């Protein structure tokens, strides 16, 4: 960790996103800012894959080229020593000398770069604007127009469309515009032609066509230290006004963003020592992705809220719970506030999936407004862990009645006359279109009330047990018997879903168990509800798990916790280690490939193909828990740090040293693992215990 910034400077991938905290799907759609060569660009309304939709209205941004080298492959040693959600600093080598370019936003509408370079011939700033005519099916778009005015270059839609104004701080720059991307590439590579007018240059398009406009600003040989700003507005005047403001505000904004990074990383986990380099950096990508999930209040959300993913943010309880679990390793108080807001700002007690304008976005085919069930994201497992790490009584007082209201709603609306629970649809289960719920001709919203899911019953039993503990903490003794009874009832019902050989969902219409096998059926074991008979029956299936088949966070979590519950610690370590390694190799890749998701940010899931779904997805950062909570095995409980080390076999190398910086009650804690031939020495704040693998030990820590 560098003392001057607080951010862990390293050799990060030169790919990723800058955060746009104000971006939402409905009320404030600003788009996302994604890396592009040595630069960034807006994608509006989002990046057009997965959750970003099928097409973009436009993309616009700026790139830097040194002596004609524009693309990453042309820049030797291109990397990013600083790679936070707020600021990305690129660095590369050229024959004439190094080039460094630091990018950040000045509000949602101005992209800023500071560029320092030594060039033999020329330094180029490239601004591109691509627009899909009529992408939103509105009337009044004809194309793009660009021109140079004074020390700025304007790229603007006509007769309608956003305007972008480019400014470069060095006064001796020359500029040219073209509607042909190949021509712009040639100018960037070979230099501007002798004759280049100030414009206007016009690109005309028909409905559905893509039009392009590019500006190349060129500076001569030698040393350069310049500021570049690209400002966006609904009109030219608005863009120019934002540009003028950003010229004044940029230093202060840069300082504030750096300070925010320092504040976060003062308490966030860090790896050092002999950890694989991509694991060390992978943890940073994950935590920075999670920071992007925290959105400021807007619309119906009166508190900070969890976006789930950056492209089309929405609130979903299951994903919010997982994001809170992961954020809790860095800032448990923030994680608690996120979950409190998730319940407090919900339109109904069961937390229907929603957007910031109050609209619901998971309505089933029978018209029910759905939210995820208590088994998806295991909110009560997360709530308990966050309470253990940060026992804030005020938070518990505020969230307790909301939690009770949620469970009461489920018992009232999802319990059949015989007392069994079901989901309105597979969406509500979190397991969209899972074969567990039978034929679903109406899609994931098809009614599935007749299926009695194992994981749902186990989750309610577990949640009721946690609520009994919370009631005792709060002195609500009259609540305790009801929660204890509920926990016992649904624990017994969960046990009745065991066939003698396995847990199975039951079809309420026939009373017969279904034939579908699924790792979510291991939830009773993962939640501590399975007895010895059930555990032994599942043991061989747990041992047979292939980590390559596990690509979704919730399924990995269930398998790992089931393995731990069965005492199959080697399986838990192998699965957690394989998933962390796979995900972090993706995140830390040096080359961007259109057939894969972008490196430098956590994505939705982790298939071996590298096509990892939505880019910028909170629960895709589940490596945080697998690494710190499972492999390192660290957990704060009150004034104690519990550690159950369980590294995968390939890391259990005697002589190596694995260091982890954690935080406990706001102060840093140094934890070190040193494998031995017969176990591991674990040191916490200078106190060492000789342990076997998967043996737990506790350290008392000062508050």
Question: Which residue ranges form the domains of the chain, and what is each CATH number?
Answer: 17-265 (2.70.98), 267-294+545-703 (no CATH)
- Residue 165 confidence (pLDDT): 99
Beta bridge partners of residue 197, listed in sequence order: none
Q: What is the DSSP string of 139-208?
A: S---EEEEEEETTEEEEEEESSS-EEEEEES-TT-EEEEES-HHHHHHHHHH---S------EEEE--TT
Q: Which of 185-199, 410-424, 521-535 has the lowest mean pLDDT?
A: 185-199
684-701 exposure pattern, b = at least 16 Cβ within 10 A, e = fewer: beeeeeebebbbebbbeb
pLDDT in tens, 408-421: 999 999 999 999 99
Nearest-angstrom CA–CA distance, 38 and 526: 45
Question: Over the stretch 622-680, which tens digit does the pLDDT of each residue have?
Answer: 999 999 999 999 999 999 999 999 999 999 999 999 999 999 988 899 999 999 999 99
- What was the pLDDT predicted at 54? 72
The pLDDT value given to residue 1:
35
In this structure, are residues 38 and 87 in contact, taking their beta carbons and an 8 Å threshold? Answer: no
pLDDT of amino acid 216:
97
pLDDT-derived band at 703 (thresholds 50, 70, 90) equals low
The Cα-based distances of 177 to 181, 250, 365, 409 in angstroms read 10, 27, 52, 61
pLDDT of residue 3: 39
pLDDT in tens, 104-133: 999 999 999 999 999 999 999 999 999 999
- 347-363 pLDDT tens trace: 999 999 999 999 999 99
CA 319/CA 617 separation, integer angstroms: 9
pTM: 0.97
**Whole-angstrom distance, CA of residue 478 vs CA of residue 567:** 36
Q: Report residue 161 as tokens.
A: 């469309």
pLDDT class of 49 with cuts at 50, 70, 90:
confident
Determine the straight-line distance between the first and last CA of the chain, rounded to whole angstroms: 24
User: Which pLDDT score, from 0 to 100, does residue 453 have?
Assistant: 99
The band of 51, judged by pLDDT with boundaries at 50, 70 and 90, is confident
Lowest mean pLDDT among 558-562, 588-592, 662-666: 662-666
List the single range of 461-465, 510-514, 565-569, 609-613 with lowest mean pLDDT: 609-613
Give the pLDDT mean for 501-510.
98
Closest to 257 (Cα-Cα) out of 406, 87, 385, 24: 87
Q: What average pLDDT does the segment 392-421 reach? A: 99
**Least confidently predicted of 192-196, 199-203, 364-368:** 192-196
**Mean of all residue pLDDT scores within the chain:** 96
* Residue 621 scores a pLDDT above 70: yes
28/20 Cα distance (integer angstroms): 11
Confidence check: pLDDT of 198 > 80: no
CB-based contacts of 526: which residues, under 8 Å, 6+ apart?
557, 558, 561, 562, 564, 565
The predicted model gives 271-286 an average pLDDT of: 99
């Amino acid at each position: 960790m560098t003392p001057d910034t607080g951010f862990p400077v390293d050799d990060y991938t030169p790919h990723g996103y800058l955060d746009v905290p104000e971006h939402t799907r409905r009320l404030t759609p600003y788009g996302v800012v994604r890396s592009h060569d040595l630069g960034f660009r807006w994608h509006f309304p989002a990046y057009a894959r997965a959750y970003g939709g099928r097409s973009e209205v436009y993309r616009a941004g700026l790139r830097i080229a040194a002596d004609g080298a524009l693309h990453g492959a042309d820049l030797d040693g291109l990397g990013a020593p600083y790679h936070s959600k707020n600021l990305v600093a690129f660095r590369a080598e050229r024959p004439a000398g190094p080039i460094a370019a630091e990018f950040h936003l000045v509000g949602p509408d101005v992209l800023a770069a500071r560029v320092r370079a030594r060039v033999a011939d020329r330094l180029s700033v490239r601004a591109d604007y691509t627009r899909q005519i009529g992408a939103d099916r509105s009337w009044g778009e004809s194309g793009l127009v660009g021109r140079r005015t004074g020390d700025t270059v304007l790229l603007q839609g006509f007769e309608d469309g956003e305007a972008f104004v480019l400014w470069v701080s060095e006064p001796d720059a020359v500029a040219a515009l073209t509607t042909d991307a190949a021509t712009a590439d040639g100018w960037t590579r070979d230099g501007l032609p002798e004759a280049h007018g100030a414009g206007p240059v016009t690109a005309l398009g028909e409905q559905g066509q893509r039009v392009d406009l590019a500006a190349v600003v060129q500076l001569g040989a030698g040393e350069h230290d310049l500021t570049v700003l690209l400002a966006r507005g609904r009109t030219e005047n608005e863009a120019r006004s934002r540009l003028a403001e950003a010229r004044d505000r940029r230093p202060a904004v840069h300082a504030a963003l750096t300070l925010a990074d320092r504040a976060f990383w003062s308490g966030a986990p860090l790896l050092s020592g002999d950890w694989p380099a991509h694991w060390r950096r992978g943890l940073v990508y994950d935590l920075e992705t999670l920071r992007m999930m925290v959105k400021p209040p807007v619309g119906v959300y009166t508190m900070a809220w969890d976006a789930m993913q950056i492209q089309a943010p929405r609130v979903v309880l299951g994903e919010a719970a997982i994001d809170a679990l992961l954020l809790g390793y860095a800032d448990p108080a923030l994680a608690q506030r996120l979950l409190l807001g998730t319940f407090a700002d919900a339109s109904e007690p069961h937390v229907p999936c929603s957007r910031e304008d109050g609209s619901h976005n998971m309505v089933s085919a029978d018209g029910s407004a759905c939210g995820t069930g208590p088994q998806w994201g295991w909110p009560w497992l997360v709530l308990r862990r966050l309470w253990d790490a940060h026992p804030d009584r005020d938070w518990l007082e505020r969230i307790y009645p909301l939690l009770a209201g949620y469970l009461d709603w489920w018992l009232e609306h999802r319990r059949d006359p015989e007392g069994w629970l079901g989901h309105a649809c597979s969406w509500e289960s979190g397991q969209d279109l899972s074969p567990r719920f039978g034929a679903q001709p109406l899609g994931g919203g098809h009614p599935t009330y007749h299926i009695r899911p194992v994981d749902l019953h186990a989750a309610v039993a577990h949640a009721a047990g946690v609520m009994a503990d919370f009631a005792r903490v709060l002195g609500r003794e009259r609540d305790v018997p009801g929660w204890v009874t509920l926990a016992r009832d649904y624990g017994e019902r969960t046990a009745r879903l065991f066939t003698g050989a396995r847990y199975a969902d039951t079809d309420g219409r026939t009373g017969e168990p279904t034939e579908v096998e699924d790792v979510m059926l291991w939830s009773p074991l993962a939640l501590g509800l399975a007895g010895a008979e059930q555990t032994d029956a599942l043991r061989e299936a747990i041992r047979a798990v292939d980590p390559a088949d596990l690509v979704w966070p919730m399924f990995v979590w269930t398998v790992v916790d089931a393995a731990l519950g069965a005492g199959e610690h080697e399986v838990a370590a192998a699965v957690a280690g394989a998933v962390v390694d796979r995900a972090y190799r993706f995140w830390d890749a040096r080359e961007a490939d259109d057939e894969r998701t972008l490196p430098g940010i956590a994505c939705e899931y982790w298939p071996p193909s590298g096509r990892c779904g939505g880019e910028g997805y909170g629960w895709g950062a589940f490596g945080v828990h697998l690494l710190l909570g499972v492999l390192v095995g660290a957990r704060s409980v009150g004034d104690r740090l519990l550690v159950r080390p369980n590294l995968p076999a390939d890391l259990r190398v005697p002589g190596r040293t694995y260091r982890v910086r954690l935080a406990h009650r706001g102060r840093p804690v140094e934890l070190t693992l040193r494998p031995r031939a017969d176990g591991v020495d674990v040191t916490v704040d200078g106190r060492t215990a000789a342990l076997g693998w998967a043996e737990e030990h506790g350290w008392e820590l000062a508050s």
